[in-house]
Structure 1
Amino acid sequence: MAGRLTGRTAVVTGGSAGIGQEIARRLASEGADIAVADLDPADETRELVAATGRRFLGEKVDVSDEAAVQEFAARVGAELGGADILVNNAAVVLLADIDQVTYEDWRRTFAVNVDGPFLASRAFLPQLKESKAGRIINITSSSYWTPPPPFVSYVAAKGALNGLTSVLSANLAAHGITVNGVAAGLVRTAAAVANTDEAFFEHAVRGQDIKRVQLPADVSGVVAFLASDDAAFITGQLVVADGGSTRR
């Protein structure tokens, strides 16, 4: 049976692991071919996509490198026929207060979390304009509204990404492209586990209405919906998927 995204191609940045990998798997299960840009090898994601019978392209790409992003977009066009869906998921998470974060770290956080989505959106724009169902979906964070103390650069960058989401939706609506964001809470991924402790997850759960740890699938389902025709009249929105911790 054909899925909601059959015949479309989805680009997922930061798709080698964690939330990005689950997004790639879910979109493939809905029928989309997948292209992943990541600094780390995406072999495991390739296998997950192959299990669905969809095509896969994986490239080592620094999303803050304009030339590299442009080259990746050209390859997606040549090998997969162009992108219909762009999921800007790649991110840097830095745990540091204002008196601990260096300017270099601050700039790197913004380069990946804000410049990356800008560069990818611009590079894939010609392809998205050609699509009959162009979608840009930015993975942001509900920490923008309830910021934990040691995430100064991360929260600021996600706030900028929220603004980019809003203005792009207005810029691109005339081309039939919708632009939305998914604001996730604290998601249990290998990277999150390595950089925090169980007490941090327990604290997050206590602040949620849904009393369990958020998983990558709680994000990928929302992304699949926004990528589909079911969400064709939704644009400029930040869909908060955080178990009710912000209730926005």
Structure 2
Amino acid sequence: MNIAEQVVVITGGSRGLGKAVVQAFAREGAKVIVNYYKSAEQAEELVRSIGKEKAVAIQADIRSEEDVKRMFEEGKRFFGKPITTIVNNALVNFSFNGDARKDLETIGWQDFQCQFEGSVKATLNTLQAARKDMESLQFGRIITIGTNLFQNPVVPYHEYNTSKAALLGLTRNIAKELGAYGITANMVSGGLLHKTDASAATPDAVFDIIKASTPLQQVTTPEDVADAILFFASPWSRAVTGQNLIVDGGLVMN
């Protein structure tokens, strides 16, 4: 199925990487559902910039099974056809601030649980909301957002890095179980992105270090990652599933 025929849910789609992903899919002609939790004004402005015939903003807490089901039902009614593609992007209660991170002495299980709910639980919720329609269509694209930090934890954000490693495990299990229905599941792992709300607390000196130590001599942008996500939604990736694509300018090679 071409991207222009797809209906895409982007969780956390009003800001940062999510916004870039929404814009990338809209550019290619897809119908997009901009999920947001609290950023209603930003989500609605993004929809207006795209066009209300091609996009809709829907509030939902991705950690809530009921909210997610409602979002998918509303999106299906709005566009008159089922969701084909999910980009699990939303980041819950986390900032990339190395100075303020909790170390192994101060971190608690509740910190891990928060990130697991925002990544693993949220992905399970969106998958379960879309699975029946995807199976009926014999087509589905599940794209999760990871991080190069669980490959190379240069900054040990313990709860965040661990939750993304677990999310890769879930992504691969989804790929195995649902491949027979034409559903693929892949992860795209960016590096520290320049510059989003989540990385706003990161000092400029850190970005300078990344730029100097990266083969492409540049810091990855949300737009760079968004275009890689398009690949996994496109017909070009039809034989690819269960993979983790690192998009960080070559900083981490795997």
Q: Would you call these one fold, judging by a TM-score over 0.5? A: yes
Cα deviation 1:214-238 (Å, max 9, x = unaligned): 1001101111111011111111111
Task: Select the residue among 172, 182, 189 that pairs with 2:178.
Answer: 172
Tell me the equivalent position of 1:10. Answer: 8
Contact between 2:9 and 2:33, CA under 8 Å: does it hold in 1? yes
For 1:28, the aligned partner's letter is: A
**In the alignment, is residue 117 of structure 1 matched against residue 123 of structure 2?**
yes
Q: Confirm or deny that 1:25 pairs with 2:39.
A: no
Q: Which deviations, in whole Å up to 9, do the C-alpha atoms of 1:34-85 show, x marking residues without a partner?
A: 1122213254454445544552221221111111111112212222221111
1:59 counterpart letter in structure 2: I
Q: Taking structure 2 as the reference length, what is the TM-score of the superposition?
A: 0.90
Q: Identity rate of aligned residues, in percent?
A: 29
Rounded Cα–Cα distance in structure 1 between residues aligned with 2:185 and 2:77: 24
Q: For this pair of structures, how many residues does the alignment match?
A: 246
1:72 aligned partner: 71
Deviates more, 1:121-130 or 1:63-72: 121-130
**Aligned equivalent of 1:90:** 90
Give the match's secondary structure for 2:219: coil
Give how far 1:133 is off. Answer: 3.4
For the 8 Å contact 2:214–2:250, the answer to whether it is kept is yes
Q: 2:35 maps to which residue? A: 37
Calculate the aligned-residue CA RMSD, in Å. 1.9
Q: d(CA) in 2 for partners of 1:173 and 1:150?
A: 34
**Counterparts of residues 100-179 of structure 1 (less than 5 Å):** 100-179=106-185
- TM-score, length of structure 1 as denominator length: 0.92
| Matched AA of 2:33 | A
Residues 161-170 or 32-41, more deviating: 32-41
Mean Cα deviation higher: 166-175 or 91-100: 91-100
In structure 2, the residue matched to 1:240 is 246
In the TM superposition, residue 19 of structure 1 has moved relative to its aligned partner by: 0.4
Q: Residues 16 and 40 of structure 1 are in contact (CA less than 8 Å); yes or no, is this contact kept in structure 2?
A: no
Structure 2 contact 17–196 (Cα < 8 Å) conserved: no
Aligned to 2:193: 187
Give, as a single letter, the amino acid of the residue that structure 1 aligns with 2:55.
F
State how far apart, in whole Å, the 2-side matches of 1:48 and 1:90 are: 16
Native 8 Å contact 2:10 2:32 kept in 1: yes
Deviation at 1:192, TM superposition (A): 3.5
The residue identity in structure 1 corresponding to 2:78 is E
Instruction: Supply the AA of the counterpart residue of 1:62.
Output: D
Q: 5+ unaligned residues in a row in structure 2: which ranges?
A: 96-100
Gaps of 5+ in 1: none
In the TM superposition, what is the alpha-carbon distance from 1:105 to its structure 2 partner?
A: 2.1
Instruction: Report the 3-state secondary structure (helix = DSSP H, G, I; strand = E; otherwise coil) of the residue aligned with 2:220.
Output: coil
Change (3 A) 1:133 1:30: farther
CA distance in 2, matches of 1:21, 1:246: 25
Instruction: Provide closer, same or farther for how the CA distance between residues 192 and 177 of structure 1 changes in structure 2, counting only shifts above 3 A.
Output: same
- Aligned match of 1:57: 56
Q: Alpha-carbon deviation of 1:104?
A: 2.2
Partner Cα separation in structure 2 for residue 86 and residue 177 of structure 1: 11
Worse-superposed segment, 82-91 or 143-152: 143-152
